[in-house]
Structure 1
Amino acid sequence: MTRMQKIGVVLGLALVAILTLLRAADPPLLRQIRDITFDEYQRITPRKFENTPVRVVDIDDASLREFGQWPWPRDRLALLVQRLSEMGAAAIAFDVLFAEADRLSPRSIMRDVAGVDPTLLSRLPDNDQTFAEAIAGKPVVLGFGLSMDGSYKPPVKAGFAFTGESPFNAPPRMTAATPLRPQLQINATGLGHISLNPGTYSATVRRVPLLLGDGEQLYPNLALEALRVAQGASTYVVAAAPDISDTLTSIKVGDFVVPVTASGELWLYTSPDVAERYVSAARVLAPDGPAPEVTAAIEGSIVFIGTSAAGLQDIRTTSLGENVPGVSIHAQTVEQILSGRFLSRPDWADGMEILLIAVLGTCLVLVTTFVSPAVGLAWGLIVTALAFASSWFAFLRWGLLFDPLAPIIAASIIHFAATSFRILVIDRERREVRKAFGQYLSPSLLHRIEHNPDALRLGGDDRELTVMFVDVRGFTTLSERLQPAEVVRFLNTLLDALSRHVVANEGTLDKFIGDSIMAFWNAPVDVADHPVKAVRAALAMRETLARLNATDAFGFGEEYQVGIGIGIHTGLACVGNMGAESRFNYSAVGDAVNVSARIEGCCKEVGFDILVSETTAAALPHFALLDAGSLGLKGKSTRTRLYATLGDETVGLSATFALLETAHQALIDAFASRSADSRKLLGRVRQRAQPYGATTQEFYRRLARRAEHFREPPAAPATVLSEQAS
């Protein structure tokens, strides 16, 4: 890991930690994005409207035209209750506040008239009393609102049983309520709050608080109370999470168990607003009585009474984006409970999403930094697709709500930051290295330096290398007849063409020394069969040089053919960065390097262009190699056996080479035994070597003068041996 990679990882993990903590804090913007995501799920697959026994008696515009503006006198509401009761309504719930006396009551009107006889006043009808008498003994539920003033708390008409920890502080807090008319409060069978979204500033109703609390008592909402009254139940059973205070799990009302959030809210699974849900109040109050279809719709149903008239401003927005009367939300709450189609967001969902941000973010930082931004992006896209698919499937199959966007948004930010850091910092360093050294080093060495710049330090390692030296024949004479610019152009053309084969065969270009090339294999990384690859590079150089001469790439014409000599040796050398701290080269030194250079020099004496040492030849099975004799190398106390390289396995396994090899062996055996048949054998060998060109013929022409290279060297005089021993 490089220093900049370490910095990138540290900065990336710090960003992951910040985003994880931000999600744990769950600011309003994230909550809003999450809610919008769940809204979209419902818009794609809304709850289907089912003909459940729930109806809304709507004080709509047609009703206002028929009976006058709102509020209506309560004797008309008494008639409405009477009609609904006669039609067999299971419960009648008013999404209406009755906090003040009826101003349209005759008694209220005459009370304000001066000089009215009190006795006469007492005999006038009181609409509040009429309404109170109408609801007495009937399954009527009245609603109450929340207030910021006063201390009024409505009575609770049902009992509460609890399981688990105390639930009183779990629901939204109710400090006070709007007082109801005393007689109405007493005569109502049930009381429920009508607030749909207390404590939230969102105009969209997504969750309905089924309970409110003041720390000592729980208060049901209008829909829950209507469902209780319709069943004739007397008690709510509230389940709290075991060993966790202030956390609710479900509410049982009669035969129905309702899963709720920790604060006792029901996630509203909205169905489209349809006309079948509504019955106009004007049709219920028709002078001739309600029509049969109206009676059929009301009979056995839980009836909510409210208004959809535009001027009364009781309009709410649902998750489907529809504007509906507030009373419709209460009706949909009961519909959802009766249908058993619930949505829920498990308590552990937040923890899972936070953990996902941490894990996904960490993985993205590591993949983007150490592999590549493209792989990180691909991995991130796969995880994104899985997150969306899993979230959607959980919603569709089980009604579970998991937020896919928070982890995805966090992962996008992390990937963008990590990718930017890599491109601007880490990859910039690598691009600079590649730009500076790409023309001179093998891809393996570039890869090592790019991913480990610390390797660019002084020092070396002992490794077995195959070292190659390449030199241009007759370069001094050639340079005398050329202008300096022409010499440079010639060298650039030749060395560029030849050095490409080093890189192509996984070698490392060490340096250019005038008209020479030094290269080696098996460093800085291991290279399998490095002697074979070095010799293949040499054979490719031979073919390239022949093509350049044939096409007159140097501009010398037919009068001058460029030649090269190549020496290759495999042995131990020290390889690493060498030089000064401020300026150094990656190079190799040692006996293997010296031997390779001396072998290249022997090409002139032997008269052949590619010579390899015995250690290299041992690693070249089936190559076309000919014994070139044992030659004394400068600086070496013993002679070194060399081999002329005619070709690769294709040549070495051919019948033509087999004949040449047999004749060649017979010749060197004759040289070794000082046989008189050597001259005759030499002629036979030269004849069999004709298919291999002029270079091989020159090799054998000089071989006739090198018979001693195939014989054992004479023993050193005893005096010399004793001097060496001393």
Structure 2
Amino acid sequence: MSRAPGGRRARAALRSRTAVLVAAAVLSAALAFTADLLGGLASAERTTVDARFQLRGEDRDRIGPVPIAVVGMDTKSLGEIDEYPLPRRWHARVIDRLVAAGARVVAYDVQFTEPSPSARDDEALLDAVDAAPRIVLAATETDRDGATAVLGGPSMQRDLGVRVGHTGVDRDDDGVVRRFRTARDGLVAFPVVAAELATGRRATAADGSGRWVDLVGPSGSFPRYSLVDVAKGRVPAARLRGRIVVVGATAPSLGDIHATATDAAMPGPELLANAIATTLRGDPIRDAGGAWNVLLTLLAALAAPLVARRRGPVSTVLAAAAAALLLGVVAYGAFLADRVVDVATPALALGLGTLTALAISTAFEAAGRQRTREVFARFVAADVVDDVLAETGRDVRLGGMRTDASVLFCDLRGSTALLERLDPEEGIAVLNRFLAAMSDAVDHHGGTMVGFRGDGLMAVFGAPLAQEDHADRALAAAREMTGPALRGVLAELAADGLETDLRMGVGIASGLVMVGNVGSQRRMEYTAIGDPANVAARLEGMTKDHPHPILLSDATQARLARRDGLTSLGALAVRGRSGTIVAWGADPGP
């Protein structure tokens, strides 16, 4: 069995629409990739990463195998000691206290590159550093060989058994620190040295663009103690034993403050503590890689177009919203699994794909509605087309439905004799005048033209646009046809010198009919099929034998809101039909 022509056209249209939408999706993805390659999405991407850190919040499991604590030169310390820079004897005391408490590593984020005013204090610091089994000191400047002037230079550092690490940071364009390098200017980074001292294993690795600082949480996630309290023995040793203790400036007035993904102002020692924890855990957070980002971007670009190929704008927008939510869930889920996938590029692709899908769908819908409008205009009046389209909405169809309607047949009486005595061209012109007047009457009362039948026509009222008063409309159209419309054409012909005795016969019947398109792919017509159509045709033929030019069925009479001017004709025998039809007669309109 062959497939319906309408189905083939619909499938062809769907294939065309799908091809255009997929092409638009690929273009959207390409534009998003281009924007990413040009660096236009870097800031937005960094913001999404910050959001992931903030959403995750504090996670102490991310500290790693060695606990960490922070000892800060805070406002309390500056107030009690009341000397700045702090004399080195105070730093010596802190180192001695930490060693005595059993700190696993002393990570001292203070630069001792120049002699202090007190040689005695300098000597106390050297003794403290020499006594510390595992200590790392800070530096921010090196020579071309990576050597530093800390404690007098590399020779003294070797004699004391102290290691030096670089504490420099890299800020993104927005001033936020998100990554750290494992080495800078030939010197291993401070967090890497601290982790190596704590574990006894090398922790360096290729830098690339730097390692993500896997923040344990916002500022305050590590135990923090005041430097003066440690120096004076006010912090129990148990709180420091076995820990990597990072010592540094935490008072805002000292300026060692950094913006991070979780904080606008995180003290330097806490940032270092987070970087140490990241290194201890093997730098767990890594970029997912290009393949995953490409896949996410392509899927995001396709989300809306794939829905738009069969659905309308509302469904497309809802699908895009769902895809955006899913993208966020996937990105956050990957982040919890220590992988950073791109969000900004897929989000841009999703947005572009949605906008293009909506634009393309709108264009296809407009074209489809225009084609439907052109088809409808063949059957109904122009002012009815918009009403039909508005009621049927997006799924615009002309047929395939069963509905209660009134069917009208009309025929011109005496036309055969007239046409025999006229030239063919003149005869067709006369016939067209009558048919035009009759079809205008159908349009005027909201009917749908089904087709012309020789010197007559067939119309249906109540389809495709439902009309509760379809019987009244059909009768009103019939009265106009047999009255003013007929008289008007006859008057025009008389004015042209053509006297004729033409009359009009109309039959109307109401009930359930099947309406729809019939025909072939090359030629198709809208029609009404059912018993009311047969009855209307029979009644129209019976007007030849009755004084009333309009005959309507009892079912039509029953559906009329106004029944004035009707004459009951009782049960009439109908040729070619068993039984009788109860009919009513009506006269032409004034």
TM tier, smaller = 0.5 to 0.7
1:500-538 deviations in whole A, cap 9, x for unaligned? 4x7xxxxxx45698862489xxxxxxxxxxxxxx9x99x
Matched, 1:43 2:57: no
Q: Contact 2:53–2:215 (CA<8 Å) still a contact in 1?
A: yes
Relative to structure 1, the CA distance from residue 516 to residue 342 in structure 2 (aligned partners, 3 Å threshold; closer, same or farther) is same
- 1:54 alignment counterpart: 68
Secondary structure at the aligned position of 1:306 is classed as strand
Q: Contact 1:230–1:302 (CA<8 Å) still a contact in 2?
A: yes
Please tell me whether Structure 1 or Structure 2 has the larger radius of gyration of its CA atoms.
1
Selected match of 2:241 from 288, 299, 302: 299
- 1:203 alignment counterpart: 175
Q: TM-score, normalised by structure 2?
A: 0.64
Relative to structure 1, the CA distance from residue 386 to residue 511 in structure 2 (aligned partners, 3 Å threshold; closer, same or farther) is farther
- 2:506 alignment counterpart: 564
Structure 1: distance between partners of 2:223 and 2:414: 102
The one-letter code sitting in structure 1 at the alignment partner of 2:144 is S
- 2:6 alignment counterpart: none
Structure 1: distance between partners of 2:73 and 2:452: 96
Q: Contact 2:303–2:319 (CA<8 Å) still a contact in 1?
A: no
Matched, 1:92 2:106: yes
Structure 1: distance between partners of 2:521 and 2:444: 24
Secondary structure at the aligned position of 1:21 is classed as helix
The one-letter code sitting in structure 2 at the alignment partner of 1:77 is H
Structure 2: distance between partners of 1:65 and 1:282: 9
Structure 1: distance between partners of 2:455 and 2:138: 101
- 2:116 alignment counterpart: 103
Q: How many residues align?
A: 475
Taking the TM superposition and a 5 Å limit, the aligned residue runs for 1:541-556 are: 548-549=474-475, 554=480
Selected match of 1:281 from 206, 227, 233: 227
Structure 2: distance between partners of 1:546 and 1:76: 106
Structure 2: distance between partners of 1:60 and 1:150: 31
- 1:356 alignment counterpart: 296
- 1:78 alignment counterpart: 92
Deviation at 1:312, TM superposition (A): 1.8
Q: TM-score, normalised by structure 1?
A: 0.53
Taking the TM superposition and a 5 Å limit, the aligned residue runs for 1:334-413 are: 334-335=276-277, 344-348=285-289, 350-362=290-302, 364-365=304-305, 367-368=307-308, 371-396=311-336, 398-413=337-352
1:299-337 deviations in whole A, cap 9, x for unaligned? 332211101122321001222224121011122334566
Structure 1: distance between partners of 2:22 and 2:56: 43
The one-letter code sitting in structure 2 at the alignment partner of 1:138 is A
Structure 2: distance between partners of 1:282 and 1:546: 101
Matched, 1:185 2:157: yes
Structure 2: distance between partners of 1:130 and 1:205: 35
The one-letter code sitting in structure 1 at the alignment partner of 2:166 is H
Deviation at 1:137, TM superposition (A): 4.1
Q: Contact 2:444–2:477 (CA<8 Å) still a contact in 1?
A: no
Q: Contact 1:137–1:189 (CA<8 Å) still a contact in 2?
A: no
The one-letter code sitting in structure 1 at the alignment partner of 2:193 is E
Q: Contact 1:74–1:131 (CA<8 Å) still a contact in 2?
A: yes
Secondary structure at the aligned position of 2:41 is classed as helix
Q: Contact 1:55–1:277 (CA<8 Å) still a contact in 2?
A: yes
Q: Contact 2:108–2:246 (CA<8 Å) still a contact in 1?
A: yes
The one-letter code sitting in structure 1 at the alignment partner of 2:51 is E
1:168-201 deviations in whole A, cap 9, x for unaligned? xxxxxxxxx6666225522143322212327x44
Structure 1: distance between partners of 2:18 and 2:101: 78
- 2:144 alignment counterpart: 151
- 1:327 alignment counterpart: 269
Selected match of 1:64 from 72, 75, 78: 78
- 1:15 alignment counterpart: 27
Deviation at 1:600, TM superposition (A): 8.8
Secondary structure at the aligned position of 1:692 is classed as strand
Q: Contact 1:273–1:322 (CA<8 Å) still a contact in 2?
A: no
Secondary structure at the aligned position of 2:202 is classed as strand
1:564-599 deviations in whole A, cap 9, x for unaligned? 2599xxxxx986779xxxxxxx779xxxxxxx9xx9
Relative to structure 1, the CA distance from residue 54 to residue 85 in structure 2 (aligned partners, 3 Å threshold; closer, same or farther) is same
Selected match of 2:167 from 165, 190, 194: 194
> What are structure 2's unaligned runs of at least 5 residues?
1-11, 395-406, 416-432, 488-502, 510-517, 527-533, 547-552, 556-572, 586-590
Structure 2: distance between partners of 1:47 and 1:343: 16
Structure 2: distance between partners of 1:577 and 1:275: 77
Matched, 1:212 2:189: no
Relative to structure 1, the CA distance from residue 270 to residue 322 in structure 2 (aligned partners, 3 Å threshold; closer, same or farther) is farther
1:575-627 deviations in whole A, cap 9, x for unaligned? 6779xxxxxxx779xxxxxxx9xx9999369969xxxxxxxxxxxxxxxxxxx
Structure 2: distance between partners of 1:59 and 1:694: 108
Selected match of 1:603 from 520, 541, 565: 541
Taking the TM superposition and a 5 Å limit, the aligned residue runs for 1:513-592 are: 516-517=457-458, 548-549=474-475, 554=480, 563-564=505-506
- 2:202 alignment counterpart: 236
Selected match of 2:135 from 134, 141, 145: 141
Secondary structure at the aligned position of 2:236 is classed as helix
1:322-359 deviations in whole A, cap 9, x for unaligned? 41210111223345666x697523443x3222223224
Relative to structure 1, the CA distance from residue 238 to residue 317 in structure 2 (aligned partners, 3 Å threshold; closer, same or farther) is closer
Counting aligned pairs with the same residue, the percent is 18
Secondary structure at the aligned position of 1:389 is classed as helix
Between 1:221-230 and 1:277-286, the stretch displaced more is 221-230
Structure 1: distance between partners of 2:478 and 2:40: 74
Structure 2: distance between partners of 1:35 and 1:375: 31
Structure 1: distance between partners of 2:73 and 2:311: 67
Relative to structure 1, the CA distance from residue 497 to residue 555 in structure 2 (aligned partners, 3 Å threshold; closer, same or farther) is closer
Deviation at 1:95, TM superposition (A): 0.8
Q: Contact 1:495–1:517 (CA<8 Å) still a contact in 2?
A: no
Secondary structure at the aligned position of 1:303 is classed as strand
Structure 2: distance between partners of 1:511 and 1:236: 94
Q: Contact 1:270–1:318 (CA<8 Å) still a contact in 2?
A: no
Structure 1: distance between partners of 2:437 and 2:83: 103
Deviation at 1:431, TM superposition (A): 4.4
Across the aligned residues of Structure 1 and Structure 2, the Cα RMSD in angstroms comes to 5.3
Secondary structure at the aligned position of 1:38 is classed as helix
Q: Contact 2:70–2:273 (CA<8 Å) still a contact in 1?
A: yes
Relative to structure 1, the CA distance from residue 264 to residue 18 in structure 2 (aligned partners, 3 Å threshold; closer, same or farther) is closer
Q: Contact 2:256–2:268 (CA<8 Å) still a contact in 1?
A: yes
Q: Contact 1:473–1:564 (CA<8 Å) still a contact in 2?
A: no
1:552-571 deviations in whole A, cap 9, x for unaligned? 975999xx99852599xxxx
Structure 2: distance between partners of 1:375 and 1:325: 49
Relative to structure 1, the CA distance from residue 422 to residue 96 in structure 2 (aligned partners, 3 Å threshold; closer, same or farther) is same
Matched, 1:31 2:42: yes
Selected match of 1:692 from 579, 582, 589: 582
Deviation at 1:363, TM superposition (A): 5.4
Q: Contact 1:8–1:418 (CA<8 Å) still a contact in 2?
A: no
- 1:704 alignment counterpart: none
Structure 2: distance between partners of 1:283 and 1:91: 19
Deviation at 1:403, TM superposition (A): 3.4
